[in-house]
A and B are shown apart, each in its own frame.
Chain A
């Protein structure tokens, strides 16, 4: 009978392990994304120490924005395009207007193209993934400070930063 027991215990542990493995895939996937730049995921942490190393190499940064769902927002980059020097800090911002009359909760998610170069687009100050409140009919400037890492591959001369603005008001109300 001990043979049977061994079989059952082994098999049940595989089942339990695989269930938790599916949850382990979540952090593994994030690591995988950061390494490979899958989906243009950028570093979510802000860089603390400013280490400016001007390189006299210039690249074009294009800014674009999307409003998710039927959010009552106008959301545009202040500048559509910037030519920046690799290794120097720049500041720009996005302008968000709440076109409705009521207070809204919003959160923005960034994405950089080409994905493989996303990790070299380093944000010093950014409004990603933080819950923001915006009053009815208010216009807010959301500042963004960034530096292009000098490890950026030499073939790349254009980077595109895209922000998607999500309306999270309902989700919060539901909680």
Chain B
């Protein structure tokens, strides 16, 4: 009987967790992985401290209560104890700060990037410009989501595929390539964030910020603007499609051809 309960206890949460994502995604870039590792490290550190502190508290609440006839002790200070619980947390923090600092140094090193993607935030869409290839386009929320999201739209958003997570023009990036993102904005501050590709950075009008990603696994990754940027802040998703290098090059040349064709059309 006991075994079954243990089994249930093991199986049930993991099943629920599969449906209800409760943790940070580990992601597919070196930066997202290291952020996840630091996150989990701190999580377990706080869990251990929490168990100790709350454990002592609950023990005290159960056994040192008046209703069980416990008489109050007289002690109310101890320099020795105070020093212990100053020094030990301090050492724990130092131990946590070392990997975090190492991670930061790695995250901030944008040198040797293969391609440069400039991202410009607008109210309320993104513009992408591939600096080396001269390809650029705007990317905004797809029509299906955009129609369903209106107040009293009469549409059930649960039936919209990738509701609020889909765009008209996806960003395509090569895998296993260090991509340097240049972030800026045209009007107000935005922030470009795809959780599975690592942290976010603010896009600030008049200034350029940088962020690098190196996607290890092909796939479609979805994110959104993370800095309040006005009324449609919640409606400027980001979709990144990561493809192998060869496929990426094909995509770029196709985009370039389209561009040439378009300008010829305009010329006529």
The reply to whether A80 and B134 form a contact with Cβ atoms under 8 Å apart is yes
Stretch at the interface among B29-37, B112-120, B154-162: B112-120
CA distance A39 to B210 in the complex (A): 10
Minimum distance in angstroms from A82 CB to a CB of chain B: 13
Given A113-B182, A156-B111, A158-B113: A39 in contact with B134 (beta carbons within 8 A): no
B184 interface neighbour in A66, A112, A114, A156, Cβ under 8 Å:
A66
Chain A residues near B210: list those with CB within 8 A: 113-115
Minimum distance in angstroms from A98 CB to a CB of chain B: 17
CA distance A80 to B182 in the complex (A): 15
- The interface on chain B, measured as residues whose beta carbon lies within 8 A of the other chain's beta carbons, has a size of 22
Minimum distance in angstroms from B107 CB to a CB of chain A: 13
Which residues of chain A from 134 to 168 have a CB within 8 Å of any chain B CB? Answer: 155-158, 160, 162, 164, 166
User: A-B pairs with CB below 8 Å: how many?
Assistant: 61
Is B176 part of the binding interface, using a Cβ–Cβ cutoff of 8 Å?
A: no
- The interface on chain A, measured as residues whose beta carbon lies within 8 A of the other chain's beta carbons, has a size of 25
Is B204 part of the binding interface, using a Cβ–Cβ cutoff of 8 Å?
A: yes
The reply to whether B206 and A160 form a contact with Cβ atoms under 8 Å apart is no
The 6 closest A-B pairs by CB, nearest first: A111-B208, A162-B208, A109-B206, A39-B207, A111-B207, A164-B206
Q: Which residues of B contact A (CB under 8 A)?
A: 110-113, 116, 118, 120, 129, 131-132, 134, 182, 184, 186-187, 204-210
Sample (14) of A-B pairs whose CB atoms are under 8 Å apart: A39-B209, A40-B207, A41-B207, A64-B129, A64-B131, A68-B205, A69-B186, A113-B210, A156-B111, A157-B111, A160-B131, A160-B208, A162-B182, A162-B208
